[in-house]
Structure 1
Amino acid sequence: MEIISNEKNKLSRQSSSFRLRSPSLNTLRLHRIFDLFDKNNDGFITVEELSQALSRLGLDADICELKPTIESFIKPDETGLRFDGFEALHKTLDESFFGGDCECDGSPDSDLEEAFNVFDEDGDGFISPEELQKVLKKLGLPEAVEIEHVEKMIVSVDSNHDGRVDFFEFKNMMQTVLVPSS
């Protein structure tokens, strides 16, 4: 678990925006992340796929340090992490890095603000096409290649037609794609 001690200091200095805080949204978010990391869509995330994904997100971890930790969550005779192993790995890392305690109030708006802040890199209260493109590139998504595609994504949720997404537009968009918990 040397990776935990090495990365803990780095993570404690970074924003906790990527931390999944709301239990009602964790599974949905984790499934989306799992699908992004599973590049060949075989239902498994290999150590290599996870390492590449972390590198794209700017979390350059040594694969030699990652491998034993990840492999401890891979079931015998399987080539990588299934979703349940990925979820268990996330929970363990969350507890190790953040103590498993949630510092937020757990409200839906709090979760949305955290997500919004991931995209709003300059903190001006708006998501510009360039900011969206940067995040999409970090995730290795093909939509990030051409700014025209990114601008179309912005236009699709930009209700006041100012060429950028404010928090209320972001919230409206998220409410149409997220299923409320019961």
Structure 2
Amino acid sequence: MDAPPVSKSLSRKSNSFSLHSPSLNTLRLRRIFDIFDCNGDGLITVDEISQALGRLGLEAAPSELESTIRSHITPGSDGLRFEDFCAMHREIDETIGDYDGVAETIDAGDREESDLREAFKVFDENGDGYISAKELQAVLDKLGLVEGKEMARVEQMIGSFDRNRDGRVDFTEFKDMMRSVTMKDLRPQ
């Protein structure tokens, strides 16, 4: 049985939909999966994805969302497992393709740098080149994470990677943080 076509509301073209670094992409997908998995049962239901998208201010027609998600749920399961979620992401990414229709020729190091810059911009809401505790808290709160409610925890997160102790994370510190987290999170257990 063929999967239904990807919803237009889910398929806006973007040059940063998929990160080019496999380890960063896997980490990003795991974090997104964990955010969507509201009850922590290792499965994402249609309702959980719908709620998470709503918190992020993204709208998708319920019938199209349900059709797209249900086509990727393993038979006998109540929701998407992480592997199902990755497969759905790959299919959507392949459907969308390169944003300009031309394969990128950037080497892996440049792609990783570009991906990290895109990720940094998400957190650097005022565009000043730094991530403050307030900016980090705002993003975590938008994602519905409990850390977004506690400034002390947010400040501790910033402090863990703030090498020059100026109370904020610059791009170099952010890169170190992402590479550190990537390596730890992707090691076999």
Taking structure 1 as the reference length, the TM-score comes to 0.83
Q: How does 1:1-182 map to 2 (within 5 A)?
A: 4-8=7-11, 11-12=12-13, 16-17=15-16, 19-99=18-98, 105-107=107-109, 108-179=112-183
Question: In structure 1, how many angstroms separate the alpha carbons of the residues matched to 2:39 and 2:106?
Answer: 35
Amino acid at match of 1:156: S
In 2, the alpha carbon distance for the partners of 1:35 and 1:7 equals 19
Q: Secondary structure at the match of 1:179?
A: helix
Structure 1 pair 148–102 and aligned structure 2 pair: CA distance change class (3 A): farther
State the distance in 2 between where 1:127 and 1:33 align. Answer: 20
The one-letter amino acid paired with 1:19 is S
Aligned-pair identity in percent equals: 55
- The total of aligned residue pairs comes to 177
1:51-82 Cα offsets, whole Å, 9 max, x none, are: 11112222122322200111001122210111
Instruction: Supply the AA of the counterpart residue of 1:110.
Output: S
1:21·1:102 contact (CA, 8 Å) conserved in 2?
Answer: no
Aligned residue for 1:159, secondary structure, equals coil
Distance in 1 between the 2:77 and 2:177 partners? 38
CA distance in 2, matches of 1:124, 1:104: 27
Which of structure 1's runs of 4+ aligned residues deviate more than 4 A?
15-18, 100-105
Q: Which runs of 5+ in 2 are unaligned?
A: none
Contact (CA 8 Å) 2:6, 2:95: kept in 1 or not?
no
CA RMSD, 1 decimal: 2.5
The secondary structure found in structure 2 opposite 1:178 is: helix
For residues 172 and 156 of structure 2, the distance between their equivalents in structure 1, rounded to whole angstroms, comes to 18
* CA–CA separation in structure 2 for the residues paired with 1:102 and 1:58: 30
Matched residues in 1 for 2:68 and 2:166: separation? 46
- 2-structure distance, mates of 1:63, 1:3: 13
Output the CA distance in 2 between the equivalents of 1:5 and 1:69: 11
